[in-house]
Amino acid sequence: MDPRHGGGAVILAAGCVLWRRAKPGEGIEIALVHRPKYDDWSHPKGKLKRGETLAACAVREVEEETGQSCELGARLPSVQYLAQGRPKEVHYWAARALGGTFTPGREVDALLWLPPAAARARLSQARDRELLDALLATTASRPS
């Protein structure tokens, strides 16, 4: 048990700021997921399973929530916040989408691919906008 943050064990999670190349000359698109339980738009993420590494969790959550396989890139900042009164720490990566098919479900009912400015405007949380900014600052996400 990790007593950091004074609220009991920290919930560990991982996710990605998922991107793909847009049409030639149009830069990149960012994947956002809609979670009906919270009625919010965010980056794909989820809780760590027993024995799972943070990187494996991030890749699994992207696939579960978006249907996309992905290639992890640069580490992005970790985010700490309270979730239902418990401290939560989410580790993020930039990740390039490699392909797949989205299927709406109970946890995630919509997936959008948006240019960065539109994604920034759609994100529900300031911390997710900061992660998008961190992705855009990495060279890994820039089209060649």
Domain extent for 114: 4-139
SS3 call for 85: coil
Contact 60, 33 (CB under 8 A): no
The reply to whether 144 falls in a domain is no
Tell me the pLDDT tens digit for each residue of 64-76: 999 999 999 999 9
Q: Residue 122 maps to which CATH number?
A: 3.90.79.10
User: Distance between CA atoms of 33 and 14, rounded to whole angstroms?
Assistant: 15
Helix H segments across the chain? 54-66, 116-122, 126-137
Is position 45 within any domain?
Answer: yes
**Tens place of pLDDT per residue across the chain (144 aa):** 333 444 569 999 999 999 999 988 889 999 999 999 999 999 999 999 999 999 999 999 999 999 999 999 999 999 999 988 899 999 999 999 999 999 999 999 999 999 999 999 999 999 999 999 999 998 544 544
pTM of the model: 0.90
State the total domains in the chain.
1
Q: Say if 71 falls within a structural domain.
A: yes
- Distance, CA of 36 to CA of 75 (rounded, Å): 28
Residue-wise pLDDT for 41-52, tens only, equals 999 999 999 999
In a domain? residue 93? yes
User: Is 119 domain-assigned?
Assistant: yes
